[in-house]
Structure 1
């Protein structure tokens, strides 16, 4: 089976990362601002510092990847899928450089994040990782690779037109907030069990 996977907020987990990066860069106080991304954004916006948040995003997806971790269970799930002979591809919507601030090479930092994890490097390598500049090109890549399954954390991405006929779309929804027609899973253990056709031990 050919399985496409989104990268940001599907494999790479940014919980607390925007807060840590903003504190590191002196943008917010260490105390008094909740650690989720929205709270950091809203705090900066309340001070009229929208541009600072845009720049912060560029930093987080660039050198700030050092703060980023993985969702629980993703390493085991993807390793099991690889071992079972499935072809895995990362297909992500990611510009080469940020919209504002220093021109970090966001693709290079994401590739380095994967290369630092042996299991990920062996599952994908650079030849199976695609960072596309637009959402439309992301969908086109899923189609060009003839993916049979695609996993993403955004319902609006899975709702786009142009995917290959018969594609199985799985919404990764760790907070369990989605209500709608899409097939959804809250964790990677469930995704692996679903795709492997048996419960993971």
Structure 2
């Protein structure tokens, strides 16, 4: 079984980091909850869309190593790997931020994976067998198909409901805050990484 997994906001939890970055710049106070979307909405209400874009460049680039993995994620992926699942990471992101210093976002993400022990291109024991960072959503959808994924886990309902999403791939929405209360037919919900192994009963420990 081959399981494809997204990167940003699926493996990586940016909630605390975005609040920290915004606080450092005096953009939020304790009235704003420490969640990525809460920071985003607060800045947009104040007409600070450009500052939000700059924060994204920092969070996904030079400060990414300060971002936390979602609780239980590492243990869950180790369990899937031990049960024989092949894990492949497929994300899409621009090479450099839209605003701010021209950091290589793909290299930054790879550094995060290495630091957390999720990927080592020089080891056959790497949890992720393959890692792909595509430049566009269209290329990401193509990669999901080419990689032969049986399942795909993503936090964006827009991607999972895309008409061009590969046929035959089981779609799983990572939705820890139940932001999508009503899911379309055929899409499963994953609220916490601790629950992920129950989705794959047909993988067996070797």
TM beyond 0.5: yes
Alignment-derived partner of residue 155 in structure 2 = 153
SS at match of 2:152: strand
Separation (CA, whole Å) in 1 of partners of 2:79 and 2:147: 21
Deviates more, 1:55-64 or 1:116-125: 116-125
**What TM-score do the two structures reach when normalised by structure 1?**
0.88
Q: Corresponding residue for 2:77?
A: 78
Q: Which runs of 5+ in 2 are unaligned?
A: 121-125
Distance 1:44 1:172 in 2: 25
Query: Which segment drifts farther, 55-64 or 186-195?
Result: 186-195
* Greater shift in the superposed pair: 165-174 or 112-121: 112-121
Which residue does the alignment assign to 1:58?
57
| Cα pair distance change 1:196/1:79, threshold 3 Å | farther
Q: How does 1:5-16 map to 2 (within 5 A)?
A: 5-16=5-16
Deviation above 4 Å: which 4+ runs of structure 1? none
Q: Distance in 2 between matches of 1:183 and 1:41?
A: 27
| Higher helix proportion | 1
Report how far residue 46 of structure 1 moved: 4.3
Equivalent positions of 1:1-201 (< 5 A) are 1-24=1-24, 26-121=25-120, 122-124=126-128, 128-178=130-180, 179-180=182-183, 181=185, 182-197=187-202
Deviation digits for residues 27-59 of structure 1, max 9, x if unmatched? 425544332223323443344432111111111
Instruction: Report the more deviating stretch, 26-35 or 140-149.
Output: 26-35
What is the TM-score of this pair, normalised by structure 2?
Answer: 0.86
- Number of aligned residue pairs: 195
Closer, same or farther: CA 117–41 of 1 in aligned 2, 3 Å = closer
CA RMSD of aligned residues (A): 1.9
**Counterparts of 1:57 and 1:109, CA distance in 2:** 13
Is contact 2:71-2:193 (8 Å) kept? yes
After superposition, the Cα gap between the structure-2 partners of 1:197 and 1:57, relative to the gap in structure 1 and judged at 3 Å, is: same
Return the alpha-carbon distance in structure 1 between the equivalents of residues 76 and 176 of structure 2: 15
1:63-112: per-residue Cα shift (whole Å, max 9, x none)?
A: 12122111111111111111122211110111111111111111111000
CA 1:44 to 1:130, structure 2 compared with 1: closer, same or farther past 3 Å? Answer: same
